[in-house]
Amino acid sequence: MTPQLQHSIRLLQLSAAAFEQEIEETLANNPFLERDDFPGPEAGTGDTAADGTHPEPTLTAEALTEAGDVIAEPDGSSGDWDDASFRYEDSLAAGAGGHSGDDADATHFAMASVCLRDHLLEQLSACRVNDRDRQLAQLVIHALEPDGYLRTPLEDLIAMCPASEAVELDEMMVVLRLVQSFEPAGVGARSLEECLLLQLGDRDEDTPGLELACRIVRDHLPELVTPDTPRLLRTLGCIDCELAAAYQLVRACSPKPGSIFGPERTDYVVADVQVRKIGGKWVARINPEVVPRIHLNQSFASMVREQRGSGSSPIGHHLQEARWFVRNVNQRFRTILRVAQAIVDRQSRFFEHGDIAMRPMVLREIADTLGMHESTVSRVTSNKYMMTPRGLIELKYFFSSHVESDGHACSARAVRALIRQIITAEDPRHPLSDVKVARTLADKGIVIARRTVSKYRDSMQIPSVEVRRLSSSAALAA
């Protein structure tokens, strides 16, 4: 492959954030490139200049829109992408089930802004303990894992202390109990069982089902993974509503109490493509916010052209690289747009009805449609996002394997959505087993095995029928 082709392929597979970083680095290293933040007459559109020469390539969102191979908007449409009736902020809220970011619990973000260690040390500073206990407690806190567990044996912590201090195991245990009394409940636990018991012990003593919940955690914790309700009822000697209340208390506990704390890296995603319905057709276009306005510095380029033999000089190579860069960036967006529009055309029913209308689709189908190589489509759809009325969606999301059913192919994603719809609509008092879900699907013309239903249900993190029955009983008892 030529260097230009290699560079084009590398730009194509970059995400929007990585691509922006690449733009900044290139602008800083190549004197022939400059950003056109305030476009003027110098930022040409490809017409012939007054001296009869063609201006150097310029990249703008308008140039992409006016390109011949860009899919045009249907006739009869206004082409107004800033129509007040279509607000992407609203579409994000709709895609999240009608809840906007303002509905999030502010305390979650406040707690995530500090790390677990600092949070515990702050509580320790407010405790009235002697210097020796304070130093031992700091040792325990620094030994905690990010999820809040203490996986270092106490004997090893004692070995870290100076021999002259003569720290005893009982003394270290007292300090550990002090740390375990801090928030969040469950921190400092040495096992899942201890973590859950610490959280249950933090509740009021008169909480219904608390004693039974502690008994379940101590003696029957493994059985909660796939609970056999009749057997548990016989073993525990309780009735169904008591078991349901205790089970709900256990489920309310966090298995990783330190997970809500930072430091956590927040990755911001920028849409590469925007999609909306115009004139009865779903149309894709490049997000103008991600298209950099860059062009060659005409003055520098003219000076180099006037110099004899400049083409083989280092500065001539810089000029050639600058030309390649603008053309490759332009090609990146044209390719992304072609692939995005092909996806939109094939999955148009998804934008109308959601996952349940998703068609099975693989990379080769788009590649054959556009006359591209399958690897090119793979690069285009990796780490690229599309803003739609149903929210911000990765391009890879539209590709899913097919499930053979009753002589025709269904998208695996559509089958998952239908399973979720069936389970959501079930009677909470009588949840459906995987066998009954499979029968319901068969009535709708989708014949799949029970184990396939179980696999898809697990992939969507939907609890089993027994877990849903216990949760429902607990809710009704409350």
Place of tokens 């800083």: 28
Mean predicted confidence (pLDDT) in 332-357: 92
pLDDT band at 363 (very low <50, low <70, confident <90, very high): very high
* pLDDT value of position 31: 85
Q: Domain segments of the chain: what residues?
A: 17-45+53-72+270-396, 114-180, 192-260, 401-477
Q: Which two tokens stand for residue 447?
A: 């014949």
* pLDDT value of position 468: 80
pLDDT band at 143 (very low <50, low <70, confident <90, very high): very high
Q: Residues 290, 292, 295, CA angle at the centre, nearest 5°?
A: 165
Assess contact for 217 and 180: CB atoms under 8 A. Answer: no
Top mean-pLDDT range of 25-39, 44-58, 93-107, 259-273: 25-39
Q: What is the CB neighbour count within 10 angstroms for residue 234?
A: 10
Assess contact for 148 and 189: CB atoms under 8 A. Answer: yes
The 3-state secondary structure of 105-152, one letter per residue: CHHHHHHHCCEHHHHHHHHHHCCCCCHHHHHHHHHHHHHCCCCCCCCC
* pLDDT value of position 339: 95
3-state class of 153 per DSSP?
Answer: coil
Residues 61, 437: Cα–Cα separation, whole Å:
49
What's the predicted TM-score (pTM) here? Answer: 0.59
Share of the chain above pLDDT 90, in %: 27
Assess contact for 234 and 472: CB atoms under 8 A. Answer: no
Least confident of 21-25, 295-299, 360-364, 368-372: 295-299
pLDDT band at 193 (very low <50, low <70, confident <90, very high): very high
| Mean pLDDT over the full length of the chain | 78
**Which residues, at least 6 apart from 87, have a Cβ–Cβ distance to it below 8 Å?**
none
pLDDT digits (tens, 9 = 90+) for 278-334: 988 999 999 998 988 888 877 777 776 666 555 556 777 788 888 889 889 999 999
Q: Where are the beta strands (DSSP E) in 252-322?
A: 273-278, 281-286, 294-296
* pLDDT value of position 104: 41
* pLDDT value of position 165: 79
pLDDT band at 92 (very low <50, low <70, confident <90, very high): very low
* Region at 461 (left for phi over 0; alpha for psi -120 to 50; beta for the rest): left
pLDDT digits (tens, 9 = 90+) for 119-129: 999 999 888 88
Assess contact for 119 and 112: CB atoms under 8 A. Answer: no
Assess contact for 150 and 143: CB atoms under 8 A. Answer: yes
Superfamily of the domain at 401-477 = Homeodomain-like (1.10.10.60)
Residues 231, 68: Cα–Cα separation, whole Å:
70
Q: Of 197, 182, 171, give the one whose Cα is nearest residue 144.
A: 182
pLDDT of residue 379 exceeding 60, the answer is yes
pLDDT digits (tens, 9 = 90+) for 196-227: 999 999 898 888 889 988 998 888 888 777 77
Between the alpha carbon of residue 477 and those of residues 240, 245, 249, 289, the distances in Å are 10, 7, 12, 52
**Residue 424: CA atoms inside 13 Å, Cβ hemisphere, count?**
7
